[in-house]
Amino acid sequence: MKLAEFQRRFYTDDMYPLRIGSGAIGGKATGLVDITEAIEADATINTDSEVTISIPRMVVIATDLFDDFMEQNRLYDAALSKIPDDRIAEEFQNASLPVRLVGDLRSIAREVNMPLAVRSSSMLEDALKHPFAGVYATKMIPNNQPNEDQRFQKLVQAIKLVYASTFFEGARRYAQAIGKNSSDEKMAVIIQEVVGTRHNDRFYPDISGVARSHNYYPFGHAQPADGVVNLALGLGKAIVDGEPTWSYCPAYPMSPPPFNGISDLLKCTQNNFWAVNMSSISEYHPTQENEFLAQGLLSDAEYDNTLHRIASTYNAPSDRIEMGIGANGPRVINFAPALGLNESPLNTIIRNVLAVCEKSNGENVEIEFAITFSKSRGFDGRFGLLQVRPTASVQSEIEIDAWTSESPDSVVFSTRVMGHGVHRVIEDIVFVRPDTFEPKNSLIAAQEIGRINSHLQKEERPYLLIGYGRWGTTDPWRGIPVVWDQISGAKAIVEAEMEEARSDFSQGSHFFHNMTSFDVSYFHVPSGQGFKLDMEWIERQQVISEHKYTKHVRVDSPLTVKVDGRNGRGVVHHD
């Protein structure tokens, strides 16, 4: 689909995306543009409800303007000089946007006075069909200042921040990890209306969500092809940043995710939410992504009257969760009314949109969306589709044959693995020593691991963690009783089996939310044929630190962690 040229009218008669400039529009914008017609054309998507499904109004600034900005201001030297992120951001703020862009931005500032999201739309993302989720900056601006000049300035600052984030350290590392350089990247920018409603000084959607048509961490009865949905109250930042949110399988919307009891559920669901700060008083941080974001408490949301469709209440005397907020008690954001009541179309709409996006893309997809309900107590409102990303191309890279376990290069092999993708970032291995470890010492082993983890986290070195029995168990005799903070730097976790601590595959349930949020692979390696854990090779590596029950070694070149989420097969191998 061809984008119409922006004619200085943000509010056009139709909702099709518009463009400024003539270059590429990047992966994120392409995903949305491609799906716009499919969403409008598919009559099955929303036949029974009063929810309007659409792509929020948006204008895309094409990559030729990014090129002009970089070249006219001679920014490449600073951008590629590996100076700290804040210095890069400062350099970019001091530069001028291309003259052929500023008039158009001025017209947006003049016409629009509601919150805007300024998002990156990377060309590498488009070229490689590789999702760059969370790599580049997104800035929300309230855009509600009475003065047009101020709205213009904030919009300009946000665009410059998104441009600068192309060269931030995290983006550089990410590019490196996929065999590219930041200098290969060109950035388009999406200026999009924020879906939401203003409540006092907060502007936020009733529900934000990320849905994937394929689930690489299936739990319970769910199959990978059933997909997975994460929902949050307020802006989607909570989901993107890996904060506690609600995860469920769209085939079983009423099945809760694997929590270890109600106290775990209370701890691992949302206690606060993100909103655009509409207050006239905000700190001045043009180089910060969250300059205009504010966190609200659940009590704020209840005051805003945005909990009744999504929250339940903990009844302490009966130690039960009751749907809705009719009774007094701590609120639990489990979306039970929206997912469980027959009149709610929420899950049906998510499934339909996911199916349309999957069909249109011809492969598995991940979508981001935001929902606002109208003032009435029903479920009529607006479903805004914010992003569509194909995920299948990543799969096609991953082929793991059964004979891989026989390969001398493979260090770990299992057919009981959760996660998906390929990582080549691990050079460190932390493991529980099989020669000294006994289950009675598991608590000490956990403390040792916590110290090593802290050290590696400081150095920003992701690592492979190997231990025996269930990780995170509360019973020290059944595994290593760590909490997430003690292993938070692990990029891949191996749960091996030993005679003294034989246990079932834990499915990583103790850290399920963290693992899914941080894309951690989880290997269960029972002893027996078809599985492999080459401790002899690991023991031969350079020892960094040695403790009573644990050891930290380093390899010469990064290990490859490869997990095929379609069949739960995974391998860790060295070069």
97 binds other proteins (CB under 8 A): yes
Name the residue nearer to other proteins (CB basis): 6 or 335. Answer: 6
12 binds other proteins (CB under 8 A): no
Which residues, 56 to 75, sit near other proteins by CB under 8 A?
68
Name the residue nearer to other proteins (CB basis): 104 or 193. Answer: 104
Alpha helices (H) in 400-511, listed in sequence order: 442-458, 484-487
Q: Judged by CB under 8 A, which of 24, 45, 58, 105 binds other proteins?
A: 105
Say how many residues touch other proteins, by CB under 8 A.
20
Give, in order, the Cα–Cα distances in Å from 480 to each of 141, 282, 438, 451, 544.
45, 45, 10, 14, 22
Q: Judged by CB under 8 A, which of 54, 90, 106, 535 binds other proteins?
A: 106
Tokens representing residue 443 in the block? 């608590």
The span of 25-33, 103-111, 290-298, 368-376 binding other proteins (CB under 8 A) equals: 103-111
List the beta strands (DSSP E) in 220-303: 228-232, 246-248, 272-277, 293-297
Name the residue nearer to other proteins (CB basis): 98 or 467. Answer: 98
**Phi and psi angles of residue 445, each rounded to the nearest 5 degrees, phi first:** -60, -40
The span of 92-100, 348-356, 393-401, 456-464 binding other proteins (CB under 8 A) equals: 92-100
Q: Is 526 exposed, middle or buried (0-12, 13-18, 19+ CB in 10 A)?
A: middle
111 binds other proteins (CB under 8 A): no
Q: Judged by CB under 8 A, which of 54, 113, 145, 153 binds other proteins?
A: 153
User: Distance (Å, rounded) from C-alpha 324 to C-alpha 307?
Assistant: 8
89 binds other proteins (CB under 8 A): no
Rounded to the nearest whole angstrom, what is the least distance from the CB of residue 521 to other proteins in the complex?
45
Tokens representing residue 43 in the block? 């009559």
User: Distance (Å, rounded) from C-alpha 107 to C-alpha 5?
Assistant: 14
178 binds other proteins (CB under 8 A): no
Name the residue nearer to other proteins (CB basis): 103 or 530. Answer: 103
User: Distance (Å, rounded) from C-alpha 401 to C-alpha 567?
Assistant: 11
Q: Judged by CB under 8 A, which of 92, 152, 437, 531 binds other proteins?
A: 152
Q: Judged by CB under 8 A, which of 60, 75, 156, 426 binds other proteins?
A: 156
**Phi and psi angles of residue 379, each rounded to the nearest 5 degrees, phi first:** -115, 20
Name the residue nearer to other proteins (CB basis): 71 or 241. Answer: 71
113 binds other proteins (CB under 8 A): no
Tokens representing residue 173 in the block? 């590392």
Which residues, 538 to 567, sit near other proteins by CB under 8 A?
none
CA 311, 315, 321, 322 dihedral sign is negative
6 binds other proteins (CB under 8 A): no
The span of 152-160, 423-431, 492-500, 566-574 binding other proteins (CB under 8 A) equals: 152-160
Name the residue nearer to other proteins (CB basis): 149 or 406. Answer: 149
Tokens representing residue 556 in the block? 């010469």
User: Distance (Å, rounded) from C-alpha 438 to C-alpha 479?
Assistant: 10
Q: Judged by CB under 8 A, which of 37, 86, 149, 397 binds other proteins?
A: 149
The span of 105-113, 231-239, 243-251, 283-291 binding other proteins (CB under 8 A) equals: 105-113
Specify the DSSP class assigned to residue 48.
S
The span of 94-102, 264-272, 502-510, 537-545 binding other proteins (CB under 8 A) equals: 94-102
9 binds other proteins (CB under 8 A): no
User: Distance (Å, rounded) from C-alpha 400 to C-alpha 176?
Assistant: 24
96 binds other proteins (CB under 8 A): yes
Q: Judged by CB under 8 A, which of 110, 320, 377, 440 binds other proteins?
A: 110
**Residue 300: helix, strand or coil by DSSP?**
helix
404 binds other proteins (CB under 8 A): no
First to last CA, the chain: 44
8 Å CB contact between 365 and 387: no
The kind and range of the H/E element at 399 are none
Name the residue nearer to other proteins (CB basis): 7 or 527. Answer: 7
90 binds other proteins (CB under 8 A): no
The span of 34-42, 96-104, 263-271, 428-436 binding other proteins (CB under 8 A) equals: 96-104
173 binds other proteins (CB under 8 A): no
Query: Please, what is the angle between helix 99-111 and helix 148-165, to 10°?
Result: 130
8 Å CB contact between 284 and 290: no
Sequence-distant (6+) residues with CB within 8 A of 574 are 409, 411, 537, 555, 557, 559, 560
Nearest to 207 by CA among 40, 335, 74: 335
Which positions lie near other proteins, rule CB under 8 A?
A: 7-8, 22, 68, 96-100, 102-107, 110, 149, 152-153, 156
